[in-house]
Amino acid sequence: MNDPNHPPPSGTPPGSPYPPVPYQARPSGYNQAFWWVGGGCAVMAGLFLLLLVLAIIGSETGLLGLIIGMIVALMPVPIYIMLALWLDRIEAEPPWMLAVAFFWGASVSVFVSLLFNTLNATIAASLFGPELGSVLGAVISAPIFEEGSKALILIIFYFARKDEFDGIVDGIVYATMVALGFAMVENFLYYGRAIAGEGGAVALTITFIMRGIVGPFAHPLFTSMTGIGLGWSRQTKNPAIRVVAPFVGLGMAMFLHGLWNLSASIHGLLYIAVYILFMVPALLIVLGVVAYSLKQEGAILRQHLQPEVQSGLMTPAEVIQISGVLSRLQSSLQALARGGFGRWRTQTLYLQIASELAFHRWRIEHGTQKADYTAAERERAYLQQLQALRSRLA
């Protein structure tokens, strides 16, 4: 029986890839309360782990070393985050998910890695001696547990938030955020250890150059391999690739991480060779994959916004503008120049809702999301938002 308070759709939304279906009762507020309580507990647990990690780092660097290390490590982080978010231009991911990824990397991943890396390095040192044990810990243990712990939140997003994990670009963006959080806290240790040692400010400067300027992309590059694997799995229709791609991506992340740590442990020509022959080409390949994927996302927008062209809500030129990275930026800047921050915000939201509508239809077509009452209602909400925003812009 239909709920009189929530009647079913009166018809198929314009451009909908599915017909209207009988109304199904909505889930109660119990699920929302469960997620709020669960999320709050997760945040408290993460904060506890982060404070525990800071206490462990401070016990090695001293309070002054920890404070200086935190200040130096935090300074470039906003720049790195802005560069990462620049990749997320076509269909921006929810800020709360980006924050969760960053916080996970800074707390859970660091704690898990610190725990197991210390344990494994101690065992290796007792078996093979301190020097070789340290190298084995860096080359074998660190890639496995660091990349594995960072990958866990990406896997959670992959299964729990299918509507916000559409492909390779999403995977790279989430991976970059979790890796930046991890690298930031890891740098607390390295910078604090440098300033607290005999080298003092000179050692800190050298460490900052190596970690903050020469190789700040290392952790994001490693974890991006996992993000690419999961993203490829999401957008492909090949069942074999869907299963294999995440494992290949995680394996590549661990391989690059281990190779990088090996070169850093040995130093000299090997470090330079790995940097030039592996790290830089890998970074360029990832950037190429991002550029290609953004073009694919633009094609999704052009295809799935055609119903709005037919209905007159959008013009063909506007759809082309919405589907391009630079053209979207240009339209936002024009709105800012014409009407200030308010118009810029409206234009930005209009572009985002148009992208959400197109990707919503793509998920239905792709089979990621069911063509049920909830999906039809969501599409109708997107259309109503677009019409309201369009009228405000007019």
- Distance CA(152)–CA(346), nearest Å, equals 36
Distance of CA 42 to CAs 5, 36, 107, 138, 178, Å? 35, 10, 11, 29, 16
Mean pLDDT of 121-130: 90
Find, among 207, 200, 199, 216, the residue nearest to 64 by Cα. Answer: 200
When mean pLDDT is compared across 8-12, 35-39, 88-92, 326-330, the lowest value belongs to 8-12
What pLDDT, on the 0 to 100 scale, is given for residue 31? Answer: 57
- What are 180-202's pLDDT values in tens digits? 999 999 999 999 999 998 888 99
- pTM value is 0.88
∠ CA 166-108-103, rounded to 5°: 60
Q: For helices 373-393 and 325-366, what crossing angle results, to 10°?
A: 160
- What are 137-162's pLDDT values in tens digits? 999 999 999 999 999 999 999 999 88
Spatial neighbors of 107 by CB under 8 A, at least 6 apart, are: 46, 47, 49, 50, 53, 181, 185
Find, among 386, 387, 364, 385, the residue nearest to 376 by Cα. Answer: 364
What pLDDT, on the 0 to 100 scale, is given for residue 32? Answer: 61
* Phi, psi dihedral angles at 166 (to 5 degrees): -95, -25
Place of tokens 């525990």: 52
- Distance CA(54)–CA(66), nearest Å, equals 8
Distance of CA 333 to CAs 79, 199, 325, 344, Å? 21, 48, 13, 7
- What are 206-245's pLDDT values in tens digits? 999 989 998 889 999 999 999 999 999 999 989 999 999 9
